[in-house]
Structure 1
Amino acid sequence: MTVNRVELQRIMASLQENGLTVEAVEDGALVQHGDTRVALFVEKDPQGGVIVRLHLDLDLYVEEDSLPDILIGMNLMNQGLDYGSLNLDPVDPEEEEPDAPLTFAVLGRSVLWLPELNAAELDRLREHLRRFETEVTETVENTLHGPRGMLA
């Protein structure tokens, strides 16, 4: 379902009022939180309210031959996440090489349902956004730079 632009603009205005930098994009918004930018998309829920989807591009890429090890590591990391999850998305190849290995981007993703857009629910969204970005970023950084860094 498509979102009414009014709902997206209300969410963007609320985030801006609370000191976050928000930039409209084609079908959503980019929210600057610390050093990262979280993509935010909103759609109407047929049963009422809106569904907010958050996407955090981690600038991590893996090739298909590393997938077994990466999937085990991501599964372990996801077990410790409360506000989102790590996912793999295939990257469209820039060059048309038939034998080139597939590459996947590692993304943080989260979904939040807001039954309405009142002040309490918008506060809950801001807190969820903050915790999502912090939790995913810290988990990945600790894994990559910790004593048992993930090999990709």
Structure 2
Amino acid sequence: MTASQTELQRIVAALQNSGLTVEPVEDGALIQHGGTRVALFAERDHQGGVIVRLHLDLDLYVEEDSLPDILMGMNLLNQGLDYGALNLDPVENDDEDEDDEAPTTFAVLGRSVLWLPELSAAELDRLREHLTRFEVEITEAVERTLHGSKGMSA
């Protein structure tokens, strides 16, 4: 068992003990929070401590030709976020029959990184608080934008 697995297992156990629904997966964990699932990955920092990465798939996709408007809107949204940021990731096209000239599609994701100097109870509580605030902040920012009058259009 690698050190990262041990740290991940300690984080998973602490989050489960705090009442969250956590499902270990290959190299991380999925945390059910309300109607969303946040992916959590942990790795030992070579300078000490643990780096925790959080990913929130928003099930939002944009086409390449919409990027200028979307990037401007995401930049404005990111300026108001404290616990994470919105990013775009290209979606792999699994259909080999597709035209190579087809526009690329991007998934909109919420991401956050938190460094824990140690896995003490206080730091694990800080992680839980960060995780909760990250999920709420990203979800609310996107919902406000999509349902507001000046929404992002994709």
TM-score interval, smaller chain: over 0.9
Which residue in 2 is equivalent to 1:27? 27
CA shift in 2, pair 1:20/1:34, >3 Å: same
Are residues 1:124 and 2:141 paired? no
Letter of the 1:7 counterpart: E
Q: Is the 8 A contact 1:3 1:42 kept in 2?
A: no
Runs of 4+ in 1 over 3 A off after TM superposition: none
Letter of the 1:128 counterpart: H
Q: Which runs of 5+ in 1 are unaligned?
A: none
**TM-score scaled to structure 1, two decimals?**
0.97
Query: Mapping of 1:68-87 within 5 angstroms?
Result: 68-87=68-87
Query: Mapping of 1:48-87 within 5 angstroms?
Result: 48-87=48-87
Letter of the 2:123 counterpart: E
Could you give the per-residue CA deviations for residues 48-70 of structure 1, whole angstroms, max 9, x where no partner exists?
A: 01000000000000010000000
Are residues 1:134 and 2:136 paired? yes
Could you give the per-residue CA deviations for residues 95-152 of structure 1, whole angstroms, max 9, x where no partner exists?
A: 2321211000000000000000000000000000000000000000000001212111
Give the whole-Å Cα distance in 2 for the aligned partners of 1:142 and 1:82: 16
Which residue in 2 is equivalent to 1:89? 89
Secondary structure of 1:116's counterpart equals coil
Which residue in 2 is equivalent to 1:13? 13
Matched pairs, number: 151
Which residue in 2 is equivalent to 1:98? 100
Give the whole-Å Cα distance in 1 for the aligned partners of 2:41 and 2:26: 10
Alpha carbon RMSD of aligned pairs, Å?
0.9
Q: Which runs of 5+ in 2 are unaligned?
A: none
Give the whole-Å Cα distance in 2 for the aligned partners of 1:88 and 1:3: 31
Letter of the 2:110 counterpart: G
Give the whole-Å Cα distance in 1 for the aligned partners of 2:29 and 2:117: 20
Secondary structure of 1:95's counterpart equals coil
How big is the shift at 1:5? 1.2
Q: Is the 8 A contact 1:86 1:107 kept in 2?
A: yes
Could you give the per-residue CA deviations for residues 7-49 of structure 1, whole angstroms, max 9, x where no partner exists?
A: 1011001100111000011100001111100000000100101
Letter of the 1:147 counterpart: S
**TM-score scaled to structure 2, two decimals?**
0.96
